């Protein structure tokens, strides 16, 4: 039976995802928003930042799928149907890409290349004191698929790895913390903090003056999760005071980052344009197709989101 699928993804990769998805399930009737046709015919929605209220117009939805790792864009819709399962994309290639990004910046910070860049700009030949990896605490805030991939990539370097998550996790070579009552203890050992938390109502603004103050003086922040996890004014204050020695930021509350944002020119900030772990059409499309077929067969949906946790 031909199924109607609502599609909305305005990334550069969106068109390729659409083509590859059509090749995976040739008999799909793909409706590209806003050309929805009869919304009662739509059984599946593959959407990224669809205008709010549109999903509520589709009364026969069987699943809502995200073409990216995050689902916070869905929960921002106050009219999101509460009886339709939501699937997030768990793509090993995306996890590998994230691990490359976080490992690169962890090593950059650990080997103090920012300091050497400043010395080079002054034409100063000077060595900077260096810790060994075993003496460097690296904390991963969020131990989902991306966080665990980053931990496994960093493990061979011998860092003192730790991780924090909402629920209990276990990973060889990583000291694992969970629950709000252990967050301060976790942060206290994070000389490099890699933020990979999902954005939810509970995590919004979690990196703020209080949590920065719980980190070791001179700690380094790597955020490649969501910009709204960070209170930007508090971050700037922590950088200016020296509580943080630097920050590598791939995500921002407003994207693209406005020209007048002070992060652009802050000497302790490195900026990349949300590139840490881009969706790859060649791996995403088969996974999205597999999720659709799972629902059609009445099987459990891979990557099913817990609405209460919002991820």
Tokens representing 71 are 């689902």
* Pairwise CA distance, residues 211 & 222, whole Å: 14
Terminal-residue alpha carbon distance, the chain: 31
Exactly one of 52, 226, 297, 304 is catalytic; which is it?
Answer: 226
166 has catalytic annotation: no
* Pairwise CA distance, residues 175 & 219, whole Å: 18
Which candidate, 173, 177, 172, 93, places its Cα nearest to that of 142? 177
Decide: helix, strand or coil at residue 194.
strand
Exactly one of 62, 155, 274, 304 is catalytic; which is it?
Answer: 274
274 has catalytic annotation: yes
Cβ neighbours around 149 below 10 Å, total: 23
Q: Which helix (H) or strand (E) segment is 161 a member of?
A: strand 160-165
Decide: helix, strand or coil at residue 290.
helix
* CA 232 distance to own-chain centroid: 17
Tokens representing 304 are 């099913």
DSSP for 220-289, written as a single string: EEEE-S-GGGB-HHHHHHHHHHTSEEEEEES--SSSSPPTT-GGGG-TTEEE--S-TT---HHHHHHHHH
Tokens representing 251 are 């995500």
Which candidate, 191, 163, 193, 200, places its Cα nearest to that of 178? 163
Which sequence positions are flagged as catalytic? 226, 274
């Amino acid at each position: 039976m031909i199924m109607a699928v609502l599609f909305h993804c305005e990334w550069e990769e969106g068109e390729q995802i659409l083509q590859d998805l059509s090749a995976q399930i040739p008999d799909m009737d793909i409706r590209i928003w806003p050309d929805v046709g009869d919304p009662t015919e739509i059984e599946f929605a593959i959407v990224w930042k669809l205008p709010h209220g549109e999903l509520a117009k589709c009364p026969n939805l069987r699943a809502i799928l995200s073409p990216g790792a995050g689902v916070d864009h869905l929960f921002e819709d106050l009219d999101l149907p509460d009886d339709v399962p939501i699937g997030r994309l768990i793509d090993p290639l995306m996890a590998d890409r994230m691990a490359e990004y976080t490992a690169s910046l962890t090593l950059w910070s650990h080997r103090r290349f920012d300091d050497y860049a400043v010395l080079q700009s002054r034409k100063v030949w000077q060595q900077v004191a260096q810790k060994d990896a075993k003496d460097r605490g690296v904390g991963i805030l969020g131990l989902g698929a991306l966080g665990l991939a980053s931990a496994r990539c960093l493990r061979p370097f011998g860092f003192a790895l730790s991780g924090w998550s909402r629920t209990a996790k276990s990973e060889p070579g990583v000291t694992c913390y969970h629950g709000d009552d252990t967050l301060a203890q976790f942060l206290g050992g994070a000389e490099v903090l890699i933020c990979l938390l999902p954005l939810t109502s509970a995590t919004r603004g979690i990196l703020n003056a209080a949590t920065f103050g719980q980190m070791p003086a001179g700690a380094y922040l790597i955020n490649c999760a969501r910009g709204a996890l960070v209170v930007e004014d508090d971050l700037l204050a922590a950088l200016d005071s020296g509580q943080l020695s630097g920050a590598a930021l791939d995500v921002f509350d407003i994207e693209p980052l406005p020209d007048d944002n002070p992060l652009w020119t802050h000497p302790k900030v490195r900026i990349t344009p949300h590139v840490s772990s881009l969706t790859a059409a060649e791996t995403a499309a088969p996974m999205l197709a597999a999720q659709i077929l799972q629902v059609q067969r009445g099987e459990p949906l891979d990557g099913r989101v817990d609405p209460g946790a919002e991820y």
